[in-house]
Amino acid sequence: MRFPVLVEVRLRPGIADPQGATIQRALPALGFAGVAEVRVGKAIRFTVEATDAAAARGQVDELCQRLLANPVIEDTAVTIG
Amino acid sequence: MRFPVLVEVRLRPGIADPQGATIQRALPALGFAGVAEVRVGKAIRFTVEATDAAAARGQVDELCQRLLANPVIEDTAVTIG
């Protein structure tokens, strides 16, 4: 069975996010006053072949650790299905 | 009131995604055979000040069009709350 997967890769709290800071600095000039705490991460979508959702999650968790994220500075959140 | 927002910025279908293609090419060497259709987008999180959820969504939709995405090649999906 093929499962659609979404992995969100976020910088851990406390890790500097220059891309988010740049977006936030640009906002007042565009008329957006009430936006704060901007953090930019990655949204990685793919499909994975597995016998059931638990097996899919196991594969995806390993994939996150080995390829998609740097666990020193990044967290991942996995959504399957 | 302050609303937490997640904006997912994705490349439109048909737009080439070299980052996703690179991840996909790396997978067989790492032992992940069943992964396909890898697409890499952005996950942008922030908080927005608004009177209610509808007003927050209006602000975020405008922000997506004017700053966060390039509507020619990118789609956005907004989650509020």
Q: What is the pLDDT of residues B47-72, one digit of tens each?
A: 999 999 999 999 999 999 999 999 99
- Segment A46-54 shows an average pLDDT of 95
The DSSP call for residue B52 is: S
Interchain CB contact of A69 with B (< 8 Å): no
Residue closest to A79 by CA, chosen among A66, A62, A61: A61
- The mean pLDDT value of chain A amounts to 95
Residue B70 and residue B15 in contact, taking contact as beta carbons nearer than 8 Å? no
* The two three-digit tokens of residue B11, written as one number: 């490349």
Interchain CB contact of B80 with A (< 8 Å): no
Residue B9 and residue B68 in contact, taking contact as beta carbons nearer than 8 Å? yes
Residue A68 and residue B38 in contact, taking contact as beta carbons nearer than 8 Å? no
- Considering only CB atoms, A8 lies closest to which of B2, B10, B43, namely B43
Question: Per the structure, how many domains does chain A have?
Answer: 1
Q: Can you give the residue range of the structural domain that contains A71? A: 2-80
Complex ipTM, two decimals?
A: 0.91
Interchain CB contact of A80 with B (< 8 Å): no
* The two three-digit tokens of residue B3, written as one number: 């609303």
Q: Is the pLDDT of residue A33 over 90?
A: no
What are the pLDDT digits (tens) for B2-60? 999 999 999 999 999 999 999 999 999 988 989 999 999 999 999 999 999 999 999 99
- Segment A36-53 shows an average pLDDT of 96
- Cβ of B43 within 8 Å of Cβ of A67? The answer is no
Residue A54 and residue A33 in contact, taking contact as beta carbons nearer than 8 Å? no
CATH number at residue B33: 3.30.1280.10
Q: How far is B9 from chain A (nearest CA, A)?
A: 8
- Cβ of B49 within 8 Å of Cβ of A33? The answer is yes
- Segment A37-42 shows an average pLDDT of 97
